[in-house]
Structure 1
Amino acid sequence: MTFNDRIFGVLMIVLAVAYGWGATQLPEPFGGSEAVGPETFPLLLSVVLALSSLYLIVRPDPDNAWPWSRTGIELVIAVVVLVLYAMLLQPLGFIISTALAVGTLCWRMGARPPRAYLVGAVSGLVVYLVFNFALDLALPLGLLSFLEVS
């Protein structure tokens, strides 16, 4: 079953290269001479992903089987939720899309839906406030853009 890890490793290297290339396409910040720009964190993530993928290719798990049971279905659901999250981030905004994504993932992990979506809403709001006010990094508000303070 080491073949599964190697296939996954190759796919993840392709993803790491694409993600790293996408990070280099981000626009330069105003001033342009900062050592840490908008591409720094995505590039770091792509390097970590590439190194982890190489490890999977070189040293695969000898007893690895694809999870075709309920676990496999839950993994597919999680991937679909994360893809939808990325697609809805701009139109719905960070708070709403994060509330929906985190709430759905919590629910799929066993939480009751009202509590799961409450956790999602609180998570989205708290992370937005930290990024916007503590870190001074703008996140999209989308449908909630009427709350934006000039």
Structure 2
Amino acid sequence: MSKLNDRVFGLVMLVVAVAYFYGATQFPVPFGGSEAVGPETFPKILGVVLAICSLYMIVKPDPDNHWPALRTFAELCIAVVVLIVYALLLEPLGFILATTLAVGTLCWRMGAKPLKAYLTGLISGAVVFVLFTYGLELPLPLGLLELN
């Protein structure tokens, strides 16, 4: 029965991957014309990776798949909620603050001490912000940190 569960889940994730990839193609063309790396590049890459993983799950399901314990399932649900809240707060708070909260919370839930967890979130948010904004020239929202 677990092989069937894996295959059904793989099929559902394949549909999500195709929809996600299609959604990424609907982003407007950036001002100044098409670029090699634009706002749709990374969502397209994620869609392709999800599709490949889904196909693998359909073709080669895990024979001894067991449902996680209730505590593990609860932690997975918390992680999903954190990621949804992260997506909702990305624009109003800005990338660095939202990433600090999301990564810090996830690190804390995985057992890190709160100070180290949120410091990791702050450092990773700042590093990724600098890489995307200045290295790839894909500006991320500053939110509350924006100077007017």
Query: TM-score with structure 2 length normalisation?
Result: 0.90
Matched, 1:56 2:57: yes
Distance apart, 1:94 and its partner CA: 0.1
| TM superposition outliers: structure 1 runs of 4+ over 4 Å | none
Match of 1:23 in 2: 24
Match of 2:138 in 1: 137
Decide whether the 8 Å contact of 1:4 with 1:66 is kept in 2.
no
Distance apart, 1:69 and its partner CA: 2.8
Distance apart, 1:3 and its partner CA: 2.1
CA distance in 1, matches of 2:97, 2:84: 15
Amino acid at match of 2:142: L
Q: Assess, with a 3 A threshold, how the Cα gap between structure 1 residues 35 and 119 changes in structure 2: closer, same or farther.
A: closer
Match of 1:67 in 2: 68
Name the SS for the 1:28 alignment partner: coil
Decide whether the 8 Å contact of 1:85 with 1:97 is kept in 2.
yes
Instruction: Give deviations 1:10-35, integer Å, cap 9, x for gaps.
Output: 22112101211110110102232444
Distance apart, 1:116 and its partner CA: 0.8
Aligned alpha-carbon RMSD (Å): 1.6
**Which residues in structure 2 correspond to 1:1-150 (within 5 Å)?**
1-146=2-147
Decide whether the 8 Å contact of 1:85 with 1:98 is kept in 2.
yes
Amino acid at match of 2:52: L
Decide whether the 8 Å contact of 1:4 with 1:65 is kept in 2.
no
Name the SS for the 1:140 alignment partner: coil
CA distance in 2, matches of 1:89, 1:34: 24
Query: TM-score with structure 1 length normalisation?
Result: 0.89
Q: Assess, with a 3 A threshold, how the Cα gap between structure 1 residues 135 and 36 changes in structure 2: closer, same or farther.
A: closer
Instruction: Give deviations 1:45-104, integer Å, cap 9, x for gaps.
Output: 212211210111121111001213322211111111111111111111100000000000
Instruction: Give deviations 1:105-124, integer Å, cap 9, x for gaps.
Output: 11011011122111111211
- Flag structure 2 segments of 5+ consecutive residues without an equivalent: none
Distance apart, 1:36 and its partner CA: 4.1
Decide whether the 8 Å contact of 1:26 with 1:39 is kept in 2.
yes
CA distance in 2, matches of 1:103, 1:142: 18
- The count of corresponding residues between Structure 1 and Structure 2 is 147
